[in-house]
Amino acid sequence: MKKPDPKLERLNRLGVRNPHPERVRAPWFQSGDFFDANDLIQVKYEMLRHVHVDGASKAEAAALFGVSRPTFYQAEEAFARDGLPGLVPKQRGPKGAHKLDTDVMAFIEQRMEDDGSIHARALAEQLETELGISVHPRSIERAIARKKKP
C-alpha cells in the first residue's frame, strides 16, 4: 500500500491544496521538481507572475493554470491588496453564531435559569415559537459551551 504524502496532508490541513491539480497545464509544473500543482498558493502566484512578468494575457494564464477568469481576477485583487497571504483561501459561510446574538443568548440563559434541566431541543422549540427564530439545537449547545469557557 502507498504511504500518504506528508506534504499533501499538510496542504489539506492548511486548506491550501489545489482541488484540481490535473487542470494545471503550465509546463514548468509538469516536471514535479520545484513547482507543485497541488499547492494552490504556488499555482495562483505563478499564474499572476506569468501575466505580470512574462506578459501573458489574463485569459491565457487562467486557462494554463486551470482556473476561471473570475478566479484569476479575484486572485489578482487579493494579491494586490494583501500580498502572498491574500492568496490563501478564506473560510466560507457564516463566521460565527449570527442568530445567537446577545438578546437571544439572554433569552436562553433566562430559560436555563428557570429550568436547569432544559435541553437544547426544547430551547430551540421555544426560540421558534416565542421569537420566530429557527436555530439548530447543536448551535445552542455550542453557544452555551462558548459562554462557559473562561
Q: What is the pLDDT of residues 96-134, one digit of tens each?
A: 778 888 899 999 999 999 998 999 999 999 999 999 999
- The label of the residue with cell 497541488 reads 38
Measured N-to-C along each axis, helices 40-52 and 69-82 cross at an angle, to the nearest 10 degrees, of: 90
User: What percentage of the chain exceeds 70 in pLDDT?
Assistant: 98
Q: What is the pLDDT of residues 49-81, one digit of tens each?
A: 999 999 999 999 999 999 999 999 999 999 999
- For residue 75, which phi and psi values (nearest 5 degrees)? -65, -40
78 or 95: which carries more pLDDT confidence? 78
* Rg over CA atoms, the chain: 23
pLDDT at site 147: 81
pLDDT at 2 over 90: no
Decide: 75 and 44 in contact? Cβ < 8 Å: yes
- For the segment 88-95, the average pLDDT, to the nearest whole number, is 80
pLDDT at site 135: 93
pLDDT at site 150: 65
The pLDDT mean for the chain works out to 92
pLDDT at site 55: 96
List b or e across 67-102, with b for residues whose CB sees 16 or more CB atoms inside 10 angstroms.
beeeebeebbebbeeeeeebbeeeeeeeeeeebbee
pLDDT at site 98: 80
- For the segment 84-107, the average pLDDT, to the nearest whole number, is 85
